[in-house]
Amino acid sequence: MLNILQISDLHLLPDPEGTLMGVNTENNFKRVLEHAFTQHDCIDLILLTGDLAQDPTETTYQRIHTILSDYATPALCLPGNHDDALLLRHILNQTPVSSEKIWSTDHWQLICLDSQIPGSQAGRLAPNELDFLQQQLNVAPQRPTLIAIHHHCLPTECAWMDTMIIENNDTFLALLAQYPQVKLVLCGHIHQIMDKRHRDIAILGTPASCFQFKAHSPQFALDALPPGYRLLNLHPDGHFETQVYWLDQQDPGLDFSLAGY
């Protein structure tokens, strides 16, 4: 079995003492890691699904590398809309951290996609990204597959958030539907839970490690929920279990008066 810890939307700042929405995002990232590794045995892989940095700098990514390295567990990173994808791949690519797009085990294949549109908050899968996905699915038709991607491919029902949905989600989902080995799509970006299905594929979104957005809100709004993360247990035969976990309390600094994320 492969046990994956998914952490998303760290939004670390250049200054480790800095705050976003009143929250020290670096502390919350550390709290999430500590909680996960204290509460759960046998985490085989940490999967970080984008927005690792709020304002990407070399030192921000280096600090993330240092924090992850303390856990001596393989970590796999992909970029979100706030990240500098090139810088991320340059720095977060030394053992035990990787930003490779493919992670294969004896049984499962993980495919990490880049949904970034440079200069935009929204998501899209560029033609070369879709080609890459299709090639990987063609070469491993029997291997249960997890696809990790920053942006969401099904609506959240938060109107403001859904302006950033993967623009060509129909193309993406139609492609996946041709490959029965695809078992789940994991995203970040939405700072809340998503638990949907598209045909036989689970479409799962995961809370942020920094702070959460309010579900079903037509406009930007924070939620009082604490930092969260997801665990997945992937079985060799292609079935899996998953659960979202929450920390005991939100950062007391969370400032609901701030908007304009």
Residues that bind Fe ion (CB under 5 A): 51, 80-81, 189
**Is the CB of 179 or the CB of 261 nearer to Fe ion?**
261
What is the smallest separation between the CB atom of 105 and Fe ion, expressed in angstroms?
27
| Torsions phi, psi for 31 (to 5 deg) | -65, -40
What is the smallest separation between the CB atom of 185 and Fe ion, expressed in angstroms?
16
Q: Would you put residue 43 in left (φ > 0), alpha (ψ -120 to 50) or beta?
A: beta
Q: Check: CB of residue 151 under 8 Å from CB of residue 191.
A: no
**Is the CB of 2 or the CB of 210 nearer to Fe ion?**
210
What end-to-end distance do the CA atoms of the chain give, in Å? 39
**Is the CB of 56 or the CB of 80 nearer to Fe ion?**
80
User: Residue 215: CB partners within 8 Å, gap ≥ 6?
Assistant: 156, 157, 158, 192, 193, 223
What gap in Å lies between CA 140 and CA 136, rounded to an integer?
Answer: 7
**Is the CB of 31 or the CB of 152 nearer to Fe ion?**
152
What is the smallest separation between the CB atom of 156 and Fe ion, expressed in angstroms?
12
What gap in Å lies between CA 68 and CA 46, rounded to an integer?
Answer: 9
Give the nearest residue (CB) to Fe ion: 189
* Amino acid identity for residue 157 in this structure: E
* Cα 65 to chain centroid, rounded: 16
What is the smallest separation between the CB atom of 72 and Fe ion, expressed in angstroms?
28
**Is the CB of 81 or the CB of 169 nearer to Fe ion?**
81
What is the smallest separation between the CB atom of 164 and Fe ion, expressed in angstroms?
8
**Is the CB of 124 or the CB of 189 nearer to Fe ion?**
189
What gap in Å lies between CA 204 and CA 45, rounded to an integer?
Answer: 18
What is the smallest separation between the CB atom of 68 and Fe ion, expressed in angstroms?
19
